[in-house]
Amino acid sequence: MDITSSQLFDRILGCFAGLAAGDALGQTYRGLTWQQVAELFERVESFQKWSDSDGHRHPAGEVSETLRLAADAALLGLSHENVPASGDILTAAEKMGNISSLALRLAVERSHARPVTPVRGLPEVPGAEPLYLGAVLGALSPGDPEAAFLRTGAACGFLAEGPSLEAGQTLAAAVASAFFPESEPSTVLDTALEYAPPAVSRVLQRAALFAREHLAHPLSLITPAIDSHLTASPGVRNSPLEALAVGLVCVYASDGRPQAAITAAAAYGGLSHATAAASGALTGALRGASALPAQWTQALKQSNPNLQLEKIASAVCKLVLNQVDEATRRTQMLNAMTSAPVSPD
């Protein structure tokens, strides 16, 4: 990977900070349609106070339990110098205490009844957790979309199956591809299409065609068209699959500009927190933390004093650079073995 360690840190931090910023910004508009967002809010550009599903009020800029789960699981995995696995996610969830997410609560309850296994054959309870965790695992696999895809499937298989899990895996691959030195929005869109399983691919193919046709159009005009052209299929509305598709369109149509992509994704409504978080993770990885609005990053720090994004990014950088060094040593060893003269019998 031909980028410096400081550039790598900026882009990894950008991925995590963009994920958090999108999550915090999108909370206000959860469950609304884009029409309701347009009617109720003059503009979408700053953090607002928000209420969770239990009616608890949260200050502007505070992130959700799903974002905290992803961050805590990352720290647990990195504490033993590895990527977070299902056990780390489960431990992080158990430490949270009161869990509002039905999908996560069911996963924790199942784990106490028997060993953690994928939920094959059980009805899926759509949740955004695989998307958030997929973004984290993508950042932990920079430049390696296949590893990011597989790691997300292995780590999140006890949380979900079907399109929710596959949307998370696809986002993980796209995030990993955003770290290529010359990566652009077209790169992440093409990677998402390459790795998307069939159920996800059907929606993303329409999203990609739509995004390319509307590249020069203002984002404010694209939202109504997304609603009528992309998400009318059964099972897509208000799902992680919709969040992924709309998030990718916003990244592509904004040319990877974090603020433009994140605000457009949040203004779409529905699972606005997950849509904006996906856009934030991708654009943050593409452009770096330095491209995010300073008022956003400052508000995130003030409202989430225990959210250790810089610590996570630093640990990820250390892990990645150690893996690069180890791969270099293995290559040198193999080269030495294959170039050594063969002793005659």
Domain ranges of the chain: 5-339
User: What pLDDT does residue 233 have?
Assistant: 65
Question: Does residue 13 have a pLDDT over 90?
Answer: yes
Mean pLDDT of the chain: 86
| pLDDT mean over 134-156 | 95
d(CA 170, CA 41): 32
| pLDDT mean over 14-19 | 97
Encode pLDDT of 180-217 as tens digits: 988 999 999 999 999 999 989 988 988 888 888 777 66
User: What pLDDT does residue 123 have?
Assistant: 44
Q: Residue 30 is encoded by which pair of tokens?
A: 């959860």
pTM given for the model: 0.89
Q: Can you name the CATH fold of 5-339?
A: ADP-ribosylglycohydrolase fold (1.10.4080)
| pLDDT mean over 282-294 | 96
User: What pLDDT does residue 104 have?
Assistant: 80
Please name the residue ranges forming H helices in 124-257: 129-139, 145-156, 163-177, 185-195, 198-213, 219-229, 240-253
d(CA 28, CA 213): 30
Encode pLDDT of 71-116 as tens digits: 999 999 999 888 899 999 989 988 887 777 777 887 777 777 654 4
Per the document, the length of the chain is 345
Bridge partner list, 58? 50
